[in-house]
Structure 1
């Protein structure tokens, strides 16, 4: 998506004012173990491993090898592209309206801004959101969204591709948890 094709400007979420009583319930219906730590990706320190049981799912060797190649690329992207047979899926329609009468784009923009705010506060940056590129979601005790987006690191600076991860809970039963926000790594050997 080029700068001229970018999404309409979205209202930046004011995350300072979001301390809401609905998150104060002492019973936790969606406990996370381990609890995500800011700026620590769950992929850190893990190596790609091929699952030999997956071989049975493919009718020929060529398809199986393509699956392994795709899975290796996805693993090295740390969840920012589709991981075959992982339960992750792309949000294809960012304009679709959800249960809370917001579009997927609005929800993902708000979550991205939450991650950007955390990045700016912890690292002394001035990153500004421009538009969403793509989103992958995966369920594992809660929803984990891997968001690729365009940002500016300074006013009127060049567009830079960034990545954010955030955990959300069904029905917004708990406050979202920002996991990371960083420039997209350039890994040319994968593509």
Structure 2
């Protein structure tokens, strides 16, 4: 008798069986971001707080302090910031040409313009794109781009520059 023939048959799992409890009470370290609302400032009413757990990600105090300063600046400018080990990474060269013969800046500008168009259509706004500030990307079954950009109301409708995310 061969080894394959003597092994016990595989158990077929019943769909109604209880879920494997190894995963039921664990905390997801990478929870899905809640769906953002259009025309809602996600920074409204929030205070900046340093996350003490991030300290252990840095080998020296100077780099950690620089990270905290950068994070505080991004928070106060209402923009995205790089968080070590988050899976996101900054696009450092927006002028780099990709596989489709477009620069990263062109691709991110196109995405931003689509978002602004949807905002204008759904909320009756008159906002136009000004420029990209910074971009972070993350792969999670599909590319997710976090784009910090500047926008303004269309001239004649008020010219304040606004921050967009």
Please report the TM-score for the alignment, with normalisation by the length of structure 2. Answer: 0.51
Residues 90 and 99 (structure 1), Cα distance of their counterparts in 2 relative to 1, 3 Å cut: same
1:101 is displaced (CA, Å) by 1.6
Would you say the 8 A contact 1:79–1:146 is kept in 2?
Answer: no
Would you say the 8 A contact 1:55–1:64 is kept in 2?
Answer: yes
Residues 31 and 49 (structure 1), Cα distance of their counterparts in 2 relative to 1, 3 Å cut: closer
Q: Is the radius of gyration larger for structure 1 or structure 2?
A: 2
1:96 is displaced (CA, Å) by 0.9
**After alignment, is 113-122 or 84-93 more displaced?**
84-93
**After alignment, is 42-51 or 25-34 more displaced?**
25-34
Would you say the 8 A contact 1:70–1:83 is kept in 2?
Answer: no
Residues 187 and 98 (structure 1), Cα distance of their counterparts in 2 relative to 1, 3 Å cut: closer
Would you say the 8 A contact 2:38–2:119 is kept in 1?
Answer: no
Q: CA offsets per residue over residues 47-99 of structure 1, 9 Å max, x none?
A: 98876665544455565565556556656767612223323222121111111
Please report the TM-score for the alignment, with normalisation by the length of structure 1. Answer: 0.46
User: Which sections of structure 1, spanning at least 5 residues, go unmatched?
Assistant: 153-169, 172-185
Would you say the 8 A contact 2:78–2:163 is kept in 1?
Answer: no
Residue aligned with 1:118, SS: helix
Would you say the 8 A contact 2:79–2:148 is kept in 1?
Answer: no
1:124 is displaced (CA, Å) by 0.8
Q: Distance in 2 between matches of 1:86 and 1:14?
A: 36
1:110 is displaced (CA, Å) by 0.6
User: Which sections of structure 2, spanning at least 5 residues, go unmatched?
Assistant: none
